[in-house]
Structure 1
Amino acid sequence: MANLIDQDQEWLLNCLNATLDPNQEIRSLAEVSLRQASLQPGHSPPLLPSKSPISIQSNRTLFLQEVIRRLLLPSLDDSHRKICTAISMAIASIAVYDWPENWPDLLPFLLKLINDRTNVSGVHGALRCLALLSGDLDDTVVPTLVPVLFPCLLTIVSSPQNLFKQNYDNYLRTKALTIVYSCVSVLGIMSGVYKTEIIALITPMLKPWMDQFSAILEPPMQPEDPDNWSLRMEVLKCLNQFVQNFPSLTESEFMVIVGPLWQTFVTSLSVYMRSSIECTEDPYGDRYDSDGAEKSLDAFVIQLFEFLLTIVGSAKLMKVLFKVFDSVCAVFFRHYVYET
């Protein structure tokens, strides 16, 4: 057995040394040999002694990274959600250091998964991975990512209205909105320096997203539906970012939000009364999804009031709000006079 291990180590050292050869043909042959060996049962790059030269150890590390990436990505659509989440976390942990420079094919692979409507597990894995990555996105990535990614996310979020397409559940729609929130936050920071470019980027996307936010907020709030609260909460967080970072753009599209927002605000009262005031039942506290994100009623209410405070602090949006309320009051007054 010792001789066999020594032979494996010697072969591996020779291959890794060959990958440093100045001759392109020799390097390519060594890379192919390593790639083929990695597919064989029992192949173990860690057999390489730790006292090997630093250049060889560095090559071994790069080779191991390549093998790990190649093994992880196809497993991202595992049907078991916990396994899928674990793989997503592993990919995101590697991508923080390697993507996009040293892992250029990661995003195309994730977008391909997201667009495959026949593979819901793949959509879940890709969204979970992007949601984890979204917290580390910066101004070097987001401007090129948004034009490609946002149409895919909009398709997922709007799936209940697309009768002839895959209908995704609220969990996946919420994850998609989490990514939108992170990207809009980065764009908002960038707009301080690159205002013209960011406005040109965000303007074509604003109306379809506002229409979708309106569609989510419009139905009455239902008790015993924490997944829907989470979805609405992410909508409110996204709206908050749009309003804070792009008030002049949001003003023209804000009218479509006011009615649905009021509907959400009013109908959430009865749900909140049952839980926190009357205390007749308390199924709403300490709720978390499978990824550990809070989806309690209290978290939703806090986010709702935070967004309302943002609106109140904007003179432009308050003008829009008063116009809507004036028309509503006028209709109510005419109806009241007619009835009496």
Structure 2
Amino acid sequence: KTLRHVPWLEIGASLALALLLCPPVCLGVVAYILCSEARRLRDMRELRISQSRTTQSNNSTNHNDNNNNNNNNNNNHNNTTQTRDQGPQLVSSPYSGKAELQPQVTSLVLQLLRLLRICVPTAFSEQGAFLIAALLLSFCYGLLACLVPSLLVRPLWTMVKSGQLASFKGFVVVMLLYNAAIAIVKASANFCAMRAMVSCRAALVRHHHAVYMNRHGRLYYTLGNLDNRVDMPDARITNDSDLLLQFLFEFVLGGVMKPESGMCCQLFFLAASLGVAHFEAEQGAPGWGLRAIGISLSVVLVSLVPTVIVADGLTKAQERVQAAEAGLRSAHAKCRLFAESICFYGGEATEAQRLDRHCAEIYGGF
């Protein structure tokens, strides 16, 4: 009798609608971001080319003017200078002496897509299998958690209200089995999410090591001695990659740090709950099913906008503070590495000023 009162049609319709709408929306967002990112990179490239041409033309004009003023009587020197001006110009070093605050690809979605491409080579790989299993188990968990009010709470309330003690004793077994099923499904989803995170971490580290120790690029030498745009690449490969995947999988799938977390579980639970809410509202007040859902979602969205704005500001502030802290750690590491030279030449005051300058950047971030 309880199963007959479950709104299976509404739940199935809401889940099907969510599954049908999510892929086109995600593809549209990704396509828009990719197009805007490509347009931004193309504009930056054209701007750099135009600036380079302007600089070269100005330098060539100034150089020719100086040669004409100083060497009017030396034709051979003028011919050599003109030939040199018409040839290729010297370029500045491609290496940067300062660390970059943001990567060249600033789109978060594009960075996540590249990360997914590196960590999950194919859908039939170990990483892909665990990810698909975690998503399916999250779907089952959301559906089971959504049916708790209809399958457990409503019959229990009816038994308690009518004083059916015998039925209540038999229903306790059903509640225990149902809750055990929810726990098993969620634990299995957490296990698959953890295994997927471990597999993706191994694939990402292998990719980083292959690029870092490549004999053609030799990034281990370039990033350590010539180019400073990526500060502390060894920490990026080890510690930062670990924290990135930990918090990413904790947010998307859950189960890494807290057993009851995960965005996918909550989204599937929300999609199924919308069908139940529509059914309950239509039973109590016909015509108010969609209105009840709209009112509930509007309250969440209205409260979400200021939270997102504040969180964006805090994120930018934390990024500045973390960049300053990374610079301070790097300065301390260099001070320890060159301690003998600093002591020999008496450079304590200079090093203290440099460390104080990094500390001032951290204090300014707060």
Higher helix share: 2
Provide TM-score, normalisation by structure 1. Answer: 0.21
State the structure with more CA Rg. 2
Higher relative contact order (CA 8 A, sep 6+): 2
What's the TM-score once normalised by structure 2's chain length? Answer: 0.20
